[in-house]
């Protein structure tokens, strides 16, 4: 979404000049079927048309390319307009998320004598028309499908690992397996890893598969990496604790191996702490 806004801001004058010059060649006095058909044919990026009176109260239905919605008649649209800039006969809003369509758009307000014509343009299609961004619709579809399979697989295996943890613990509780230290630690490790895998799959689905989320999410979400790293570190710490207990019970000679594992985890925690510090510092800036 931020990339779309930046691309629009860099080329706003060119795009606005094209829209205004094209509208100037069209008679906008009467908002009828012929006019709406011509506007939608001229502007493939146009997604909504409606008209307001001089007080910016909507007096026409929301007119889409394939339907009309009457219940918006009477709505106050003054919040969309900067009246000072409208003195020149038109006003073009900054990019925003449309409540009617859910997509990023700009609104062109054009004076038409007895009121104002409001035209919502979908920003992505507008930029694609000027070749300011690449379409790659086929590639995007394949990419989304691939992410859906990968994210769905991670969600499935995350749940599977969690259920496996409960299953193994149930085996110890009901006497199917001999009771030991593993009866406590192994299910905890399974639950922790299952949580990490599930959270990673959920994030992939939210950011790369769901279209509504994809429009509003950032390109990089450090919270995802933080959650995943915390889960992995906790699982490794539990495993290291389990190794220490096993060695202390059976063979003290293997304690150096456990110490090496704990030292490696301490270094991993130090790196993770530096990463968290950098993320928090960048957020404050």
End-to-end C-alpha distance for the chain, whole angstroms:
21
Lowest-confidence pick of 54-63, 212-221, 227-236, 271-280? 212-221
State if pTM tops 0.85.
Answer: no
Bigger pLDDT: 236 vs 152: 152
Can you tell me the mean pLDDT for 182-195?
77
CA–CA dist 64, 46 (Å, integer): 9
**What is the predicted pLDDT for the residue at 217?**
44
Q: Among 180, 69, 160, 61, which residue's Cα sits nearest to residue 118?
A: 61
Enumerate residues 6+ apart whose C-beta is below 8 A from 185.
238, 239, 241, 242
- Kindly give the interhelix angle for 2-10 and 12-24, rounded to the nearest 10 degrees: 70
199 token code pair: 């959270």
**What is the predicted pLDDT for the residue at 177?**
67
- Tell whether the model's pLDDT for residue 246 goes beyond 60: yes
- Tell whether the model's pLDDT for residue 185 goes beyond 80: no
Bigger pLDDT: 134 vs 88: 88
pLDDT tens digits, one per residue of 67-112: 999 988 999 999 889 888 888 889 999 999 988 888 899 999 999 8
Find out whether 52 and 72 touch, Cβ atoms under 8 Å: no
- Tell whether the model's pLDDT for residue 5 goes beyond 60: yes
pLDDT tens digits, one per residue of 29-40: 788 888 899 999
- Tell whether the model's pLDDT for residue 213 goes beyond 60: no
**Helix segments in 32-136, DSSP class H:** 33-42, 123-129
How far does Cα 185 stand from its chain's mean position? Answer: 36
**For 60, left (φ over 0), alpha (ψ -120 to 50), or beta?**
beta
φ/ψ (deg, to 5) at 195: -65, -45
**What is the predicted pLDDT for the residue at 83?**
85
User: pLDDT band at residue 214, thresholds of 50, 70 and 90?
Assistant: very low
What share of the chain has pLDDT > 70, as a percent? 89
Bigger pLDDT: 1 vs 128: 128
**What is the predicted pLDDT for the residue at 170?**
82
Lowest-confidence pick of 25-34, 204-213, 256-265? 204-213
């Amino acid at each position: 979404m931020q990339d779309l806004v930046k691309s629009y801001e860099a080329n706003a004058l060119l795009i606005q000049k094209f829209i205004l010059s094209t509208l100037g060649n069209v008679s906008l006095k009467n908002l009828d079927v012929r006019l709406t058909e011509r506007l939608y044919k001229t502007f493939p990026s146009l997604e909504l048309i409606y008209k307001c009176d001089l007080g910016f109260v909507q007096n026409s239905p929301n007119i889409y390319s394939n339907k009309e919605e009457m219940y918006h008649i009477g709505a106050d649209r003054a919040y969309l307009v900067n009246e000072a800039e409208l003195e020149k006969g038109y006003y073009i809003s900054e990019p925003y998320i449309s409540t009617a369509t859910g997509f990023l758009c700009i609104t062109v307000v054009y004076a038409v004598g007895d009121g104002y014509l409001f035209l919502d343009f979908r920003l992505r299609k507008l930029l694609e028309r000027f070749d300011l961004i690449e379409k790659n619709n086929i590639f995007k579809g394949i990419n989304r499908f691939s992410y859906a399979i990968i994210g769905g697989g991670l969600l499935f295996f995350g749940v599977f690992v969690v259920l496996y943890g409960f299953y193994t613990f149930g085996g110890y509780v009901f006497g199917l397996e001999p009771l030991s230290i593993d009866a406590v630690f192994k299910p905890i490790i399974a639950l922790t890893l299952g949580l990490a895998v599930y959270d990673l799959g959920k994030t992939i689905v939210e950011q790369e598969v769901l279209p509504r989320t994809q429009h509003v999410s950032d390109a990089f979400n450090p919270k995802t990496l933080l959650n995943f790293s915390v889960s992995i570190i906790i699982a490794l710490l539990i495993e290291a604790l389990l190794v220490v207990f096993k060695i202390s019970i059976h063979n003290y000679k293997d304690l150096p191996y456990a110490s090496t594992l704990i030292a490696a985890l301490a270094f991993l925690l130090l790196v993770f702490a530096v990463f968290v510090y950098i993320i928090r510092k960048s957020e404050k800036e």
